Copies of this chain bind each other. A is one copy, B any other.
Amino acid sequence: MTNDCGWSLVEERFELDRCKSYEGLFAQGSGYYHVRGALEEPLPDAPQNLRYWRMPTNVTSERFRESLSKWGTYIPGVFGEHPLLGRELVNLPCFLGLAPIVGGTPLDVVSGNVSGHQRTLDLRTGVLTRSLRWRVQGVDLELTYERFASAAHPHIFFQRLTLTPSADVTLELAATIDGDVTTNGYDHFASLEFHMPERDMLECLLETDVGDGVGIRSRVTCTSEASWRFAAEDRRARLIASISVTAGATVTLEKRTSLATSRDPEQRSADEWLADVSDQSWDEALAANTQTWEQRWSACDVIVDGEPRDQRALRTALYHLQRAHVPADTRVAIDAKGYAGEAYWGRFFWDTEMYLLPVYLYTDPDRARTLVSFRVQSLPGAQQNAARYGYPGAKYAWESDDRGNECCPNWQYADHELHVTADVVYGLAHYAAATNETDWLASTAASVVGETARYWAARVDQRVGDDHPSLLGVMGPDEFVPLAGNNAYTNRLVRFAVQQAVTLGLATSDEERARFTRIANDLPILERSDGLVLQCEEFERLAEPDFERTWLDRTRTYAAQVSQERLYRTKALKQADVLMLMWLFPQEFSDAQVRQAWDYYLPYTTHDSSLSASVHAMVALRLGLQDEAQRCWSRAAYLDLDGGAAEGIHIANAAATWMMAIFGFAGMRTALQADVLTLEPRLPAQWSRLAFPVVWKRQHAFVEIDSRQVSVQNRSGAELPVSVFGRRDTVPARGVQTWEQPS
């Protein structure tokens, strides 16, 4: 790759076996909608309409259906009801279709004579450019595609095709909306119809199986005279025009598509949205988009000097984090695949609070607010979940849809992976601490804190002979121990969450207050006699995993190579569990204890979860294990860049990439871990500089770190108290302060 300062992602040539991972990596979206980075024309042997039954299973070890290409068009909040898998994000019709046909032969990069095929995603603006030369019927056609999901007009997608033939040619141009698609093999369309409302316009109207209406409308314009005709098949439709182009002349075709649904807060049709931009030229539309992206980047860009690959990884992560966030809509959060694939059914996990929230919290608190507000508005769903299990209060779903309802069809997660309910409260408290919005926690969010505490009070057990309550039958973050007693991570998070209810005075009776207090104080964090923090009561009685004999291919996950039964009876860890706890509550564990846990658990850890390596990187840095930290950084930061994005973006891992840079290498502490902006940098040797903006309790600042010093620019109008290299200090309003690295 050229030195683009890590601002572009380039696909140097088209390779069929990398097609799907680029579809994920090149996903574009406005927040309102998202579309995977498919080509503008269908691939042969890559049908998008297959019907099949995807079964409920452990998604981490699931072998996804092999296919060459996977289209994906998603509007957050448009869920359908799958008979086996629960409520899932619906894959909507693909509106990208835009391709030439010469003498009846459509463009086809696989069987056609195509050269110079290259695609580039400009991370700075979200514009995807594609260029290629197609030799067909003796003519060379130079084609350039450009497209972007407008950040300025979130209902509109812009596409442009520029075409130059080497000889006079008559060809057809086709613009398609293709509704012959399924979601995880299932058809969620109760009805699907196509119209040609105007002579240059194509419209798709559908209703999902839960009754949401979706409208998609494309307008095509061409610099050459074109008369569009409408060609509809059963589940797709096209506008086709025949044009003649002289040798060396250039024809430009534009397609603008708008999307709208019946569940939009603004009741406007796709037609009305499209009309908003009818007077805008391509350049004007592009400029508006670029301006919005510039604002976004100024708030969050992390600059790394020294290693272009690391810079690109960070910017790729931040590109998707900005794209995937649904602006100003508290009815949805960010799905686990970053709306770039349907593998995780478009649902919301604990990642929302524990991985995704921080990046927004410290770069754009308004976005963080919509994310935590999602949990407040979906409280009724969480209350229904608790009631279904026979408990009072609120139980947040392991896999939540927009209404907060549990959608996970696998009982071991839905029934036992309870920590998400405490993680949600941790997230609310984190938001309140990082933004100084303690009033919000005590008012708007208090119902969540109180209702989840009520759930915990009913869910804990008091065993005969114990002097403490216990949380039994629990799956911790490590999903390879399905049913544990007193999981340390879960218990600590529950203590934290219930303590919030105590602090906010949310108990409705003395008896309830006593119960809350007892949980907050006495739910145990178990230690072995030598001080080792135990993942759970049973951990030491599990069998040795015997990786030597059972984990033969270390390039693939462990879970894909052994039966679940073996995972469930051995000490094999899917991901950080005790270490995750120690990363969240660093002040509660001595370095020696963290080191002891590292030494004990790491040999058992498979990192089968994409959430694991990043936490290990941060813990390694605390322990001064730079090499280990580097290895974990690389494993996490390059996951999707190195082909991992086929089923979508690992969006929590993208956020963790930011976390590794900021909380790890810059050594910043969160607002729940420190009361002032704290920096303990430990840059990797190959990074000469790390610089980033940060918002700390409503004060904006800019941090620059190199191997010799740290400087903090206070962009606010008030003094900024800081702690750098362990020293307390104050940066004056609008001033800059620099500290030398202690020798």
* Chain A residues close to B by CB (< 8 Å): 53, 55, 83-84, 388-390, 411, 415-416, 461, 463-464, 470, 472-473, 482-483, 485, 537-538, 541-544, 550, 562-566, 568-570
Contacts and interface: CB of A to CB of B under 8 A. Distances in A.
A542 B562 CA distance: 29
Contacts of A541: 463, 472, 485, 537
Contacts of A411: 564-565
Contact of A563 (B390, B470, B565): B390
A415 B473 contact: no
A464 B544 contact: yes
Given A473-B568, A562-B390, A563-B415, A463 B544 contact: yes
B565 A473 contact: yes
A570 B472 CA distance: 9
Given A53-B83, A84-B84, A463-B544, A550 B390 contact: yes
B416 A472 contact: no
B472 A542 contact: yes
Contacts of A563: 388-390, 415
Number of copies: 2
Nearest to A550: B390
19 contacts: A388-B563, A389-B565, A389-B566, A390-B562, A411-B565, A415-B568, A416-B565, A461-B569, A463-B541, A463-B543, A464-B544, A472-B569, A473-B543, A473-B568, A473-B569, A483-B483, A483-B568, A537-B541, A538-B538
Nearest to A542: B472
A569 B483 contact: yes
Contact of A566 (B83, B390, B550): B390
A614 B31 CA distance: 62
Contacts of A570: 461
Nearest to A409: B55
A560 to B, nearest CB: 12
Contacts of A470: 543
A483 B470 CA distance: 19
A411 B563 CA distance: 11
B461 A543 contact: yes
Given A461-B543, A564-B411, A564-B415, A483 B482 contact: yes
Contacts of A566: 389-390
Contacts of A542: 472
Contacts of A550: 390
Contacts of A485: 541
A599 to B, nearest CB: 16
A541 B486 CA distance: 11
Contact of A415 (B84, B388, B565): B565
A472 B389 contact: no
A291 B483 CA distance: 57
A149 B470 CA distance: 58
A412 to B, nearest CB: 8
A38 to B, nearest CB: 29
Contacts of A472: 541-543, 569
Given A390-B550, A461-B543, A463-B541, 18 more contacts: A388-B563, A389-B565, A390-B562, A415-B563, A415-B564, A461-B569, A463-B544, A470-B543, A472-B541, A472-B542, A472-B543, A473-B543, A473-B565, A473-B568, A473-B569, A483-B569, A537-B541, A538-B538
A415 B566 CA distance: 9
Contacts of A463: 541, 543-544
A570 to B, nearest CB: 8
Contacts of A84: 53, 55, 84
- Closest 3 pairs between A and B when the two form their complex, measured CB to CB: A473-B569, A461-B543, A415-B565
A92 to B, nearest CB: 25
Nearest to A52: B83
A416 B416 CA distance: 18
A10 B578 CA distance: 65
A309 B562 CA distance: 53
A389 B569 CA distance: 13
A80 to B, nearest CB: 16
A475 B463 CA distance: 22
A248 to B, nearest CB: 58
A472 B541 CA distance: 9
Nearest to A410: B411
Nearest to A415: B565
Contacts of A473: 543, 565, 568-569
Contacts of A464: 544
A83 B562 CA distance: 24
A484 to B, nearest CB: 10
Nearest to A543: B461
A568 B83 CA distance: 26
A472 B53 CA distance: 33
A464 B569 CA distance: 14
A386 to B, nearest CB: 11
A416 B388 CA distance: 27
Nearest to A53: B83
A564 B414 CA distance: 11
A36 to B, nearest CB: 28
Contacts of A483: 482-483, 568-569
Contact of A461 (B53, B55, B390, B544): B544
A409 to B, nearest CB: 9
A472 B483 CA distance: 13
Contacts of A415: 563-565, 568
